[in-house]
Amino acid sequence: MSNLDEKEKVSTDFIRTRINQDNESGRFDSRVHTRFPPEPNGYLHIGHAKSICLNFGIAKDYNGLCNLRFDDTNPVKEDTEYVDSIQEDVKWLGFNWSGDIHYASDYFDTLYELAEKLIMKGKAYVCELNADEIREYRGTLTEPGKKSPYRNRSVEENLALFRKMKAGEVEEGKMVLRAKIDMASPNVIMRDPTIYRIRHAHHHKTGDKWHIYPMYDFTHCISDSIEHITHSICTLEFENNRELYDWVLDALELYHPQQIEFARLNLTHVMLSKRKLIHLVQNNFVSGWDDPRMPTISGLRRRGYTPEAIRNFCSKIGVARAADSMVDYSLLEFCVREHLNAITPRLMAVLDPIKVIIENYDENAEEFFDCQLHPEDESYGTRKVPFSRELYIERDDFMENPPKKYFRLSPGNEVRLRYAYYITCKEVVKDANGNIIELICTYDPETKGGQSPDGRKVKGTIHWVSAKHAKEIEARLYDHLFPMDNPAAEDVENFTDLINKDSLKVVKAFAEPHLATLPIGEKVQFERLAYFCVDYDSTSEKPVFNRTVTLKDSWAKIEKKA
């Protein structure tokens, strides 16, 4: 694990370079204070993890602070379930926010006062154009906008109307408060943006107190300012909003953080749009936000991914200012394998069993092999693996008519049963339809422990489970929810048509007894197969395992080729 910690140390990216410059010039008195500002309208996903690692990581690197602030200005879409899950996920990723949790709604009173102040400065007005008209008046990228007929109201009239809006005396959609900036600005966002709108809705924190809610662009910069944030890091789609961020703070003569934009994470096989993720959950395409096929932090956690692996992934992808690029999902899997390889015990289970009968092994005998739980770390200890006359091996590990260089079990061929003995296949037993039902084998008692005293070598080693000692387990085998690289780019009416119908396969498997004793959340390697973890649906009668990631490593090959 120590080498992972080492790798987590991040090199200097363009954001840290700018922070270094600010520290040198003394711009923020050498303070570094960031924030992570999720909107509580969904669960966090792997894209948020990039932002979390960046904001909290910078605070850590500079001995600074990072706030957690809920950007809860839209009462209609927000929910306390999301507020709770977001806190849990940030903590699980290994980060602590500074001080109390902040809510944009904590600032509603201040924001309101500042809006009145803007009105009094002649820099905001109440507009009665409807949403369509506002859009029409806004103009386009190539044409300037038109001024609203309500733009030149007096300060007194604006104040009176804004107070009526606040008092709940105006219908939704009838009026908005707009900043008075420039309808001809080349930046469309600066064409008198709406800063307050009417919503007669219950808010998860402020209840029914408010009938008007501030818009993101007005709220965000002021919240940053109130919290004395130094560097307000956000994704690239807010680049054009920076001018408005600066305008609001300048107009109100407030302390002024620096907004910096970086490229969003996009991952192959994954949809990160919250709207789409909510759709999957609400329409039961998945079992919930934490379905192990979801790209949510809670889904990845349930799947068996570790915080260390996710942080290492975020450090490997780095941060760039360049336009959003697509990261290969196999890089994330590579990071997961790398960590699980270091920390997981190895155990044996058979997912697709075929029976082996060892005809020269006493029917009533059994023995127990002491086997190390981790090949390189003795501190993991050992467990006893039972052996007897009837075993299960993987169907894949036998071929009746093998091609050349097939070293696993085949008629007449000798293989090593991991930790146990050499066996040779003598006979294949089939049912009336010609399906193989069992294999009759013999074992060599001299090869106990899987070593031959005469130095006889076998090329294949296979895993197995003693049939009479085996515990039946449920193994949930996951694959990508979206089989194509870039599902968002597919031209379909319903994105759910793209879902991989085989993304979850549930199989009954046989496991060595120790596997049935593991607690929920425990991570293991099923030897030669994959990494698994114990799901919370698991009971002592029916242990349930999620396949986290297979052992096959396509990323390492890609990297080697490059």
Amino acid at 544: V
Binding mask 232-251 for ligand ATP (x = CB under 6 A): --xx----------------
According to DSSP, the residues that pair with 68 across neighbouring strands are 36
- Give start and end residues of each alpha helix (H) in 368-503: none
| Shortest separation between residue 263's beta carbon and ligand ATP, angstroms | 8
To which residue do tokens 């300060």 refer?
155
Contact between 51 and ligand ATP by CB under 6 A: the answer reads: yes
Contact between 38 and ligand ATP by CB under 6 A: the answer reads: yes
Contacts of 236 (CB under 8 A, 6+ apart): 261, 262, 263, 264, 321, 323, 324
Contact between 41 and ligand ATP by CB under 6 A: the answer reads: yes
Contact 72, 39 (CB under 8 A): yes
| Closer residue to ligand ATP (CB): 47 or 292 | 47
Contact between 47 and ligand ATP by CB under 6 A: the answer reads: yes
Contact between 75 and ligand ATP by CB under 6 A: the answer reads: no
Tokens of 231: 């560097």
Contact between 231 and ligand ATP by CB under 6 A: the answer reads: no
Contact between 269 and ligand ATP by CB under 6 A: the answer reads: no
Contact between 268 and ligand ATP by CB under 6 A: the answer reads: no
Region near ligand ATP per CB under 6 A, out of 41-49, 292-300, 383-391, 444-452: 41-49
Contact between 486 and ligand ATP by CB under 6 A: the answer reads: no
Contact between 277 and ligand ATP by CB under 6 A: the answer reads: no
Contacts of 182 (CB under 8 A, 6+ apart): 190, 191, 192
Region near ligand ATP per CB under 6 A, out of 45-53, 369-377, 432-440, 539-547: 45-53
| Shortest separation between residue 51's beta carbon and ligand ATP, angstroms | 4
Contact between 298 and ligand ATP by CB under 6 A: the answer reads: no
Tell me whether residue 9 is one of the annotated catalytic residues: no
- How far apart are the two ends of the chain, measured CA to CA in Å? 27
| Closer residue to ligand ATP (CB): 159 or 326 | 326
Contact between 264 and ligand ATP by CB under 6 A: the answer reads: yes
| Shortest separation between residue 70's beta carbon and ligand ATP, angstroms | 9
Tell me whether residue 264 is one of the annotated catalytic residues: yes
Contact 105, 207 (CB under 8 A): no
Contact 423, 443 (CB under 8 A): yes
Distance CA 36, CA 86 (A): 11
Identify the active-site residue in 274, 383, 416, 523: 274
HSE toward the beta carbon, residue 440, CA cutoff 13 A? 7
Contact 213, 73 (CB under 8 A): yes
| Closer residue to ligand ATP (CB): 233 or 518 | 233
Among 16, 50, 138, 469, binds ligand ATP (CB under 6 A): 50
Contact between 295 and ligand ATP by CB under 6 A: the answer reads: no
Nearest residue to ligand ATP by CB is 47
| Shortest separation between residue 49's beta carbon and ligand ATP, angstroms | 8
Distance CA 484, CA 223 (A): 40
Contact between 87 and ligand ATP by CB under 6 A: the answer reads: no
Nearest to 525 by CA among 542, 512, 541: 512
Distance CA 211, CA 562 (A): 58
Q: For residue 539, give Cα distances in angstroms to 85, 145, 171, 469, 534.
A: 25, 64, 54, 18, 10
Among 272, 440, 498, 551, binds ligand ATP (CB under 6 A): 272
Identify the active-site residue in 39, 133, 239, 522: 39
Distance CA 155, CA 174 (A): 19
Estimate to the nearest angstrom the gap between the alpha carbon of 433 and the chain centroid. Answer: 47
> How many binding residues for ligand ATP (CB under 6 A)?
14
To which residue do tokens 């003569």 refer?
253
Site residues (vs ligand ATP, CB under 6 A) = 37-39, 41, 47-48, 50-51, 234-235, 264-265, 272, 274
